[in-house]
Amino acid sequence: MNLKNANILVIDDDTDVLLAVKLLLKTEAKEVVTEKNPENIKHLLAATKFDIVLLDMNFNSSINTGNEGIFWLKKIKEIDENMAVIMITAYGDIDLAVRSLKEGASDFMIKPWHNEKLVGTITDILSKKASGKSAPSLKVANDSVIGNQLLGNSEVMQEIFYKIEKIAPTDANVLILGENGTGKELVAQAVYQKSLRARKAFVKVDVGALTESLFESELFGHKKGAFTDAREDRVGLFEAANDGTLFLDEIGNITLQQQAKLLTVLQGRRITRLGSNESIPVNIRLVCATNLPLAELANENKFRKDLIYRINTVEITIPPLRKRKDDIIMLAKYYAKIYADKYIKPVPEFDAGCQEKLLNYTYPGNVRELQYSIERAVIMADQDLLQSGDIIFSPLESTGVMNEEAGDLKLSSMEKNTILKVIEKHNGNISKAAKELGITRTALYRRLSKYEI
């Protein structure tokens, strides 16, 4: 099909984007229809035969998840499975845009786009559609997916991988615990990707950042006129995640009042949009994360215990990087390769002094801080062999973990002395010593190796 004969529908809540696209395409296409409210998609597609739809990934949301775009993409495909759809996305939505291709999108454009590129993409898709060929899948450059892997050789990470494999195929609610920067979102994504809902939506929301006034509107949606700025109906994130996975990040930071509202929805598996009396069933797999320790989360002055039980069918605790030193060099080399490719530089090696510096640091910012340090080193290094001086750790992070490290060393010393006393008590009999210590022989051997006993 020739672009001159095409009817194009553009859906975006940004009037500047709508105006720009209309001005660009009005002399190129037969008709260009623009629409701010995705709720009108069904009516528009019924009234006019469109040849292609340009669809934004976000609508009136203070949380740019991009999952709304996938939700509306599915609605379009339900109406017309052959409709060509181009997703309009910001740089930060790349992973979701790639996923939208699996959901049936023909292509995606990144804001801000080049006009020639947009026209060329539309022309190519219309041509492929007319010839009966499907549009080719796009490959995303490395700089769009940097560091998006859950990695680890350490024993504790292997246990996490095993737990993910076991729980992912179930619909059990998962609570992920760990300090900031340890990779809680990557664990959530791994659970989702290995689940039976992997082809459905993955909706992430930082609930800790929601104000009291936004909490219900963002999660449960609202009807037009429900409050002063509610100028149109809005789908909440629970609905956007229907049949898929809802990831509530930083859940430990929500208020008791918000907890009560969330608990009501989780118990009934139904949501009611603000300004409506109609309850809507939702079918989600819930994954939550917090940087609070479970003991602190269990303080009923801060968090409802009945909600903890509701969200914590299975718990995954990610240790800080300083407690999984076996992973540090492997992660450093992984990020060195990623950033060398990004900045078109040779992949560097690490000399002995550099490795020693990496291993001896406490990483208050965890994997995120290591990633930052390696990226900086790759950019600034004058040679292919990274040395100790090339590694500069983030000045933004607190060094307060040094006190914790000192405490850990004291505990380690106590554990070592206890093991020595029990083994001596049983005249070197490992089986009896392990039994008294309440651990397996294998675990005891690991500790003997750890303390070089």
What pLDDT was estimated at residue 60?
Answer: 60
β-pair partners for 204 = 247
pLDDT tier for residue 144 given thresholds of 50, 70 and 90: very low
Q: Of 253, 288, 317, which residue is a domain's last?
A: 317
Task: Reply yes or no on whether the pLDDT at 421 is more than 90.
Answer: no
pLDDT tier for residue 95 given thresholds of 50, 70 and 90: low
Predicted confidence (pLDDT) per residue in 63-81, tens digit:
445 578 888 999 999 999 8
The CATH number linked to 91 is 3.40.50.2300
What pLDDT was estimated at residue 136?
Answer: 37
> Within a domain: residue 167?
yes
Average pLDDT, rounded, for the chain: 84
Q: Of 109, 143, 177, which residue is a domain's last?
A: 143
| Same domain? 313 vs 327 | no
Predicted confidence (pLDDT) per residue in 198-234, tens digit:
988 899 988 988 887 789 888 998 888 777 677 787 8
What pLDDT was estimated at residue 420?
Answer: 82
| Same domain? 184 vs 272 | yes
What is the count of structural domains for the chain?
A: 4
Q: Are 205 and 228 in contact (CB under 8 A)?
A: no
pLDDT tier for residue 189 given thresholds of 50, 70 and 90: very high
> Within a domain: residue 399?
no
| Same domain? 118 vs 232 | no
> Within a domain: residue 396?
no
Q: Of 270, 292, 317, which residue is a domain's last?
A: 317
- Domain containing residue 373: 323-390
pLDDT tier for residue 400 given thresholds of 50, 70 and 90: very low
Predicted confidence (pLDDT) per residue in 121-133, tens digit:
898 888 877 766 4
| Same domain? 340 vs 313 | no
Mean pLDDT of 142-168: 76
> Within a domain: residue 148?
no
The CATH number linked to 329 is 1.10.8.60
> Within a domain: residue 270?
yes
| Same domain? 135 vs 44 | yes
Predicted confidence (pLDDT) per residue in 227-284, tens digit:
767 778 788 899 989 999 999 999 999 999 999 999 999 999 999 998 888 999 999 9
The CATH number linked to 313 is 3.40.50.300
**Which of 21-25, 31-35, 183-187, 393-397 is predicted least confidently?**
393-397
| Same domain? 281 vs 243 | yes
| Same domain? 416 vs 291 | no
Predicted confidence (pLDDT) per residue in 339-380, tens digit:
999 899 999 999 999 999 999 999 999 999 999 999 999 999
The CATH number linked to 445 is 1.10.10.60
| Same domain? 230 vs 370 | no
| Same domain? 110 vs 207 | no
> Within a domain: residue 18?
yes
| Same domain? 336 vs 312 | no
> Within a domain: residue 150?
no
| Same domain? 97 vs 128 | yes
Mean pLDDT of 125-148: 51
What pLDDT was estimated at residue 131?
Answer: 64
> Within a domain: residue 19?
yes
> Is 385 or 425 the better-scoring residue by pLDDT?
385
| Same domain? 94 vs 220 | no
From the CA atom positions of the chain, what is the Rg in Å?
Answer: 26
